């Protein structure tokens, strides 16, 4: 899934830099604005999935900008997290009144901020959540390390989980045993190729109960493929 885009609007260069580094590390694509004018230019060029907005900005305040954006039919669906040094309840209420989606008080921990960002993104657009893979009724939650078919949990060992995650991220492509080893186990680990077969068998067995075993296909003479199409024996 394509990375999510966050616009940081903050006049303090050091904080902006820190946020850019942290969010890039968390695999977001980041653009920056030091004031409302730059923010408007950035929004004109590209609509982000989320805006991180500082309350205290020169000239127009973050709160005023938030109010304007939430009244703009083109912008109002973009979630806003307001950053502020103020912690008074009254200010929080004013922020929520304007329609901001969440509120983080400085100083904040990066961990907490990233968690809040992910929570807001999950709330507004669950299908954008890249911690989650879905193929038909098969749901794989990367963060929680759980697999479900509908509401029924599929119990997998850690290796089978990684295998399934890899296959769901790369459906309809054929991989040789060597490629699967390199991509799932890592190229610096020495494991015999038949080990792949053993784990594929276990994965199929776990999926068989739910009728999904035929998704893991053997491509004779080549390797394996994860396919959601009809079974065609190779």
Angle at CA 198, nearest 5°, toward 195 and 204? 140
Tokens of 13: 């260069």
> Which of 11, 64, 182, 213 contacts Ca ion by CB under 5 A?
11
In whole angstroms, how close is the CB of 14 to Ca ion at the nearest point?
11
Instruction: Draw the binding track, 33-62, toward Ca ion (x: CB under 5 A; -: no contact).
Output: ---------------------x-x------
Nearest residue to Ca ion on Cβ basis: 56
In whole angstroms, how close is the CB of 84 to Ca ion at the nearest point?
9
Stretch that binds Ca ion, among 6-14, 96-104, 182-190, 191-199 (CB under 5 A): 6-14
Nearer to Ca ion, 58 or 158 (CB): 58
Question: With CB under 5 A, what is the number of residues at the site for Ca ion?
Answer: 3
Contact 121, 130 (CB under 8 A): no
Alpha carbons 132 and 143: distance in angstroms, whole number? 8
Nearer to Ca ion, 43 or 57 (CB): 57
Nearer to Ca ion, 92 or 148 (CB): 92
Q: What order do you get walking across the sheet with 152-154 strand by strand? A: 132-135, 138-141, 146-149, 152-154
Alpha carbons 9 and 17: distance in angstroms, whole number? 11
Query: Which residue ranges make up the site for Ca ion (CB under 5 A)?
Result: 11, 54, 56
């Amino acid at each position: 899934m394509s990375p999510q885009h966050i616009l940081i609007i903050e006049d303090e260069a050091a904080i902006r830099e820190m946020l850019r580094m942290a969010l890039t590390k968390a695999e977001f694509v980041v653009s920056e604005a030091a004031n409302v004018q730059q923010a408007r230019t950035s929004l004109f060029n590209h609509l982000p999935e989320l805006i991180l907005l500082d309350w205290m900005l020169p000239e127009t305040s973050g709160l005023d900008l938030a109010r304007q954006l939430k009244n703009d039919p083109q912008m109002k669906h973009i979630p806003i997290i307001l950053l502020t040094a103020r912690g008074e309840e009254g200010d929080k209420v004013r922020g929520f009144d304007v329609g901001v989606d969440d509120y983080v008080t400085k100083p904040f921990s990066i961990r907490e901020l990233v968690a809040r960002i992910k929570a807001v993104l999950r709330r507004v657009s669950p299908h954008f959540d890249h911690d989650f893979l879905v193929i038909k009724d098969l749901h794989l939650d990367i963060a929680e390390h759980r697999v479900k078919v509908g509401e029924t949990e599929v119990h997998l060992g850690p290796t089978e989980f990684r295998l399934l995650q890899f296959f769901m991220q790369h459906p309809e492509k054929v991989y040789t045993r060597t490629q699967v080893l390199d991509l799932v186990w890592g190229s610096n680990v020495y494991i015999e190729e038949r080990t792949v077969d053993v784990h594929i068998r276990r994965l199929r067995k776990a999926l068989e109960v739910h009728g999904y075993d035929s998704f893991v296909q053997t491509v004779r003479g080549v390797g394996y493929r994860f396919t959601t199409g009809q079974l065609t024996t190779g």
